[in-house]
Amino acid sequence: MRLLRIAVLATALTPIAAVAAAAPTGAKPAPRLSGKGRLGFVASQGNAQGKSANAALNLSYVSGPWKHSLSLAALYGQSLGVVSAERWTAMWQSNRKISADAYAFGSLRYEHDLFDGFQYQGSAAAGLGY
């Protein structure tokens, strides 16, 4: 019976010990910069010749309660010597952590597309997220 009590007590105290071990030490985490990118090119020949190129870069910087994100993307296409696609996109967003689950944000976005219904689009936004 005593062994059962010890097992039950140990099982009950395990989550408390895990939370205590994960408690912050008061030191601020070091800023982090991360990112990823891609680059592509396609050339085709035959009855029609075509070329297509694309590139993208996504960067993220986290420092304390702040997170900043930058995204850049480009697409270019040509078929039979005629440009068939040209799009450039840029986006910046900053988030400020309010609590563990809530944050405030502001963002800017610009897109230039010669083959869309709109030649360019720009937007600015701000708000709260959860």
Q: CA 31 to CA 106: how far, in whole Å?
A: 20
Say whether pLDDT at 10 is over 60. no
Tens of pLDDT, residue by residue over 70-125, are 999 999 999 988 988 999 999 999 999 999 899 999 999 999 998 888 888 999 99
Tens of pLDDT, residue by residue over 60-69, are 999 999 999 9
Tens of pLDDT, residue by residue over 18-44, are 444 444 555 677 789 999 999 999 999
Q: pTM of the predicted model, to two decimals?
A: 0.70
The beta-strand segments (E) located in 19-80 are 32-44, 50-63, 66-79
